[in-house]
Structure 1
Amino acid sequence: MTIHIGISACVLGEKVRYDGGHKNSPFCSAVLASFVRYLPICPEQAIGMPIPRPAIRLLKTDSGDIRLVNSKDSSIDFTEKMHQFTDQKLPVLAQLSGYIVCAKSPSCGMERVRLVNEKGELLGKVGTGLFTQRLMQKYPWLPVEEDGRLLDAELKENFITRVYALSAWHQLIASGFSVGKLVEFHSQFKFLIMAHHPTAYRELGRLVAHAKLFAADDLAERYLLDFMRALKQPATRKQHANVLMHLQGFFKKLLSSTAKQELLSLIHQYRLGHAPLMAPLTLLKHHLSLHPHQYVAAQRYLLPYPVELGLRA
């Protein structure tokens, strides 16, 4: 199933910024592009703003409203045009598995966008771009990340994990939702959830166990929202090590004492920060190839996204 990701057009190298430039992300344009299909959008260009154009900013009025205005003349207001465009565009974005936005943009920024008052005084970097704010409100489960934050290895890995997880969900419900499908989906993602959010792992397990108490639509939306929120929580070494210990338990009666000790030692080294995650994972997959186990092999934790992306290295 093709993975669709929305993206600020300038992040793909399109010269649509206010100064006629771009903010090309090598990871997005040269690496991730081989695995996904992008939907490039420049909200400012879409509402008819020229290239180049005067800079814009977010303004908080005395009544508390947030307006999108010309930086030099706040009487030139683009707020309603931006809202109209966003309302028309959002339904088209329902099947996206992720969205990458341009940092600090008054239209696209996810966080820390400059906000001023009616006197032009800086209130702080506390705003969210008008388009992105509506996007996140409409689809609170959607993975949204900024181009600059993708330079951080952990944030990048977390974002891609969520993108592929949401894509798997879209694939699940493409032919209709059922409790049986949900049980199978949850079974495949149990250990990935455990690595990111042990509490949510238990709560989602209870939700699935009592699935028949809910209307299908309510169940699907509740599970999806809680599932994606759980994966947004960064996985720690301790939590990864806990999952690895659970997985090695499936092989404890199959491995020799030497092989078992080798695996346990690697997990311990990883927990202490002396080895990368790929070390115990690779050995675990090796034992899985020698001792096939259908339940373990189905775990998305072992391969949450294509290995070619090299995000766990």
Structure 2
Amino acid sequence: MQRTFQPHDILANGKIKLAISGCLLGQEVRFNGGHKESRLCSQVLSEYFDFTPVCPEVGIGMGIPRESIRLVGDPHDPQAVGTVHRERNVTQALKDYADQQADQLGDICGYIFMQKSPSCGVERVKLYRDNGAPHEEGAMGIYAKRFIERHPLVPVEEAGRLNDAVLRENFITRVFALANFRAMQAQGFERKTLMQFHARYKYQLMATAPAEYQSLGRLLAQSKGQPLAEVAELYIHGMMQALKKPATRGSHCNVLQHISGYLKRALSGDERQELNELIEQYRTGLVPLVVPLTLLKHHFRQHPHDYIGQQAYLQPHPQSLALRNSL
């Protein structure tokens, strides 16, 4: 029987590298000399991730404390200017620093940004019109936008959004998926290895984007004769895009039922009924996802199955993170 896939395998040679806004780790780098420490990041996730803290405003020499900046102008091409001295425009400096960091941080598997920041915010950062009135639209932080453009493959999330259990689990799942893919690449993979990787993530992809799972399968099936490096690049970009969409209770239930089908001949009638009832209770919100998953994994320990045993869906990240206890 194939050995069951475990996310801990990725961690065997050290923690996964992530970048993070420095203030989220408690560094006193904000404009007022303070910080915005996230205990989730500094105390929980730091057990698994090797964080590289970055503060772009300090990085471009603005100092601590400093005049705060804000975004003004066009939502698609805003400018970062001083709130007191509007003639101080640091837009290009932030973009240049993002390019520098993009070159230095090419091996990261994720980035956690500070929300609402005119340099680091990823979504709906406050934007002002040239006359000083608030704009109805938000914008992306200058540094964050440029960095993401340079590394579209890397999972990103704002620290504030990680308080949402669904978004938190989705982000960590994507981080481990990318880390696992890169670990496979580092070992020198073949076309067969890439097919095995796709098979390993079948049910994880089915839970988020079943149509994209089928498209990725066709990509691999039709890739004979194409350079493997090019196929792998297309595949991982498609996969990471597919995993961005968080799974729903309905899609999770669909996957749970598919997986339980591999046990239909192994379980008694009462055991099948118990499992089906737990899946239904999860669908209606009575129990979290970890409950039917735990029973499924128990049954597969009793009745091992090669294909299911290597599915990333059953354990896409370390169980000790307890990310599925609130889904």
Shift of 1:214: 3.5
Which letter does structure 2 place at the counterpart of 1:238? G
User: Mapping of 1:217-296 within 5 angstroms?
Assistant: 217-296=229-308
Partner of 1:38, secondary structure, is: strand
Asked if residue 116 in structure 1 is aligned to residue 128 in structure 2, the reply is yes
Aligned length in residues: 312
Q: What are the ranges of 5 or more consecutive residues in structure 2 without an aligned counterpart?
A: 1-10
CA distance in 1 between counterparts of 2:113 and 2:77 reads: 23
Deviations 1:104-147 (A, max 9, x none): 11110001111223222221351111111011111212111111
Instruction: Kindly indicate whether the alpha-carbon contact (under 8 Å) linking 2:99 and 2:150 is maintained by their aligned counterparts in 1.
Output: no
Give the alignment partner of residue 49 of structure 1, picking from 62, 72, 79: 62
Instruction: Kindly indicate whether the alpha-carbon contact (under 8 Å) linking 1:95 and 1:170 is maintained by their aligned counterparts in 2.
Output: no
Change (3 A) 1:114 1:216: same
Give the alignment partner of residue 201 of structure 2, picking from 189, 196, 206: 189
Partner of 1:211, secondary structure, is: coil
Give the match for residue 8 of structure 2. none
Give the match for residue 18 of structure 1. 31
Asked if residue 175 in structure 1 is aligned to residue 179 in structure 2, the reply is no
CA distance in 2 between counterparts of 1:266 and 1:113 reads: 41
Q: What are the ranges of 5 or more consecutive residues in structure 1 without an aligned counterpart?
A: none
Which letter does structure 2 place at the counterpart of 1:176? G
User: Mapping of 1:132-143 within 5 angstroms?
Assistant: 132-143=144-155
Which letter does structure 1 place at the counterpart of 2:89? D
Which letter does structure 2 place at the counterpart of 1:150? L
Partner of 2:126, secondary structure, is: strand
Instruction: Kindly indicate whether the alpha-carbon contact (under 8 Å) linking 1:16 and 1:45 is maintained by their aligned counterparts in 2.
Output: yes
Give the match for residue 16 of structure 2. 3
Asked if residue 59 in structure 1 is aligned to residue 72 in structure 2, the reply is yes
Shift of 1:92: 1.8
Q: Pick 1 or 2: higher relative contact order, CA cutoff 8 A, min separation 6.
A: 2
Instruction: Kindly indicate whether the alpha-carbon contact (under 8 Å) linking 2:17 and 2:49 is maintained by their aligned counterparts in 1.
Output: yes
CA distance in 2 between counterparts of 1:239 and 1:165 reads: 19
CA distance in 2 between counterparts of 1:226 and 1:150 reads: 23
TM, length-normalised to structure 1 = 0.95
Percent identity reads 45
RMSD: 1.6
Shift of 1:4: 0.6
Give the alignment partner of residue 141 of structure 2, picking from 108, 126, 129: 129
Asked if residue 94 in structure 1 is aligned to residue 111 in structure 2, the reply is no
Which letter does structure 2 place at the counterpart of 1:54? E
Shift of 1:213: 5.0
